[in-house]
Structure 1
């Protein structure tokens, strides 16, 4: 009887230990999932706020700014119940953000003309600009796939981003071509301006009425003529030098005996 009681007690203790272990594992798994989910929302917030901080480099419309604001708002709302000790910070940020959204909705700003956009002088700013446009396009597409962006807004804003990326690409190629020409690297300069022209002609076939494309085509053609002229002007010097070398070789070559 005592032996049976001991066995029952040991069995109960074993079940209790197993139960506690299962509960602890479950709590650890829940906590790990909470941290992982919170980290995911924080990453969304950080990425979107980084894009927002760089919109000063880009002629952005109110529509795309609202898309970015609402993405941060959704992430903050989802992160709030997971934040625990940081709930007051998330609540404050939500209040501030909703105020910004309301202000922008009540007084939307007209989209700046893309034609007025100018590429920054700093290579670092250009790199930041390229990365920002790439992230902005990915965010816009992701929010559209979730049904949070109207198709007309998505199409218009994606077209603006594509146009800006084209301008940056073409301006960058023409800028590198000018630099190479200045360094008298005419082969590289010609290669880059020819590549820019090919890109422009491809786009011009799709959007023949874009004034930027027509302007850049004329600029690239003028640059190509200038580079070709500079290249031709540099060639006679080399030819003359070669002729002088040939004359010296003839002068000092061994005399023939007749």
Structure 2
């Protein structure tokens, strides 16, 4: 009888140890998940704040800026629900109150962005890099929020079109800059290739904004650069006789107004 009682007690003790171990593992798993979620929300807040701080390098309507503030607000709310220490909760709550006040202000005073035709690329290389990174991240954020069903289709469409337009303009500037660099190194083939890519991008811009003065200005720059490339190439290789049509005439044909029949 005593032996049986001992076995029962040992079995109960064994079950108790297993139960305690399972509970401890569940607590550790829950704590790990809590920390992972906090880390994820922290990353969302940091990324969105970085994008928000650089939106001044371009021009966006308040409807797009609101997308960023709401994303931060949601991340703060989730973070607060996962915080355990009161001081941290209070700090996050203060930040959340500030963000919600910004959202209320923006929502009550809707503002429109400047016309895309008025966009001017920053002169500072560091700012250009920040602009490129901001546009890339903003596009990813807008698409993610739209996939969650949180964006009005009109806001999403406007955001996509504006970001694409900015990126096209930056690409043109980059390709013409690379073409000039290649030309200075006597890499005429690469230089002409970059100019051709820039012209293709300009055609894409023309399809979006037909009356954009940016197109005329950059086409003129491309023509001047091509003339410079051809002049240097001819000077270095006078024996080469070109049977092709003049590049400048080809450009004029590409960008001349379409005839109506």
**Which TM-score tier does this pair reach, normalised by the shorter chain?**
0.7 to 0.9
Paired position in structure 2 for 1:161? 163
Aligned to 2:177: 175
For 1:1-258, what aligned pairs fall within 5 Å after superposition? 1-85=1-85, 86-182=88-184, 185-204=187-206, 206-207=207-208, 209-211=210-212, 212-236=214-238
1:189 Cα deviation after fit: 2.8
Moved more, 111-120 or 66-75: 111-120
In the TM superposition, what is the alpha-carbon distance from 1:106 to its structure 2 partner?
2.0
The whole-number CA distance in structure 2 between the counterparts of 1:114 and 1:103 is 25
The structure with the largest alpha-carbon Rg is 1
What is the alpha-carbon distance in structure 1 between the residues aligned to residue 128 and residue 223 of structure 2? 24
Counterpart CA distance in 2 for 1:207 and 1:160 is 10
Deviation at 1:223, TM superposition (A): 2.3
Q: Deviations over 1:190-212 (max 9, x none)?
A: 232122123323554x4472523
Query: Which sections of structure 2, spanning at least 5 residues, go unmatched?
Result: 241-261
Give CA deviations for 1:129-164 in whole Å, capped at 9, x if unaligned.
Answer: 111101100100111111111001100110000000
In 2, the alpha carbon distance for the partners of 1:82 and 1:34 equals 6
Which stretch of structure 1 is more off in the superposition, 161-170 or 75-84?
75-84
- Please state how far the C-alpha of 1:169 moved relative to its aligned partner: 0.2
Contact in 2 for aligned 1:177/1:190 (Cα 8 Å): yes
Distance 2:33 2:183 in 1: 57
Measure, in 1, the Cα distance between the counterparts of 2:154 and 2:8. Answer: 71
> How far, CA to CA, are the matches of 1:202 and 1:39 in structure 2?
41
Q: Which residue of 2 aligns with 1:250?
A: none
2-structure distance, mates of 1:104, 1:208: 28
Normalized against structure 1, the TM-score is what? 0.83
Hey, what's the Cα distance between the residues in 1 that align with 2:71 and 2:204? Answer: 35
| Pair 153,73 (structure 1): closer, same or farther in 2 beyond 3 Å | same
More off after superposition, 33-42 vs 123-132: 123-132
The 8 Å contact of residues 60 and 112 in structure 2, kept in 1 or not, is answered as no
Structure holding more helix per residue? 1
- Distance of 2:37 and 2:204 partners within structure 1: 44
Tell me whether 186-195 or 162-171 shows the greater mean CA deviation.
186-195
Aligned residues: 237
- Deviation sequence 1:28-85 (CA, Å, 0-9, x none): 1111111111111111111111111111212222111100000011111111110222
SS in 1 for 2:110: coil
CA-CA distance at 1:27 after TM superposition: 0.8
Residue in structure 2 matched with residue 253 of structure 1 by the alignment:
none
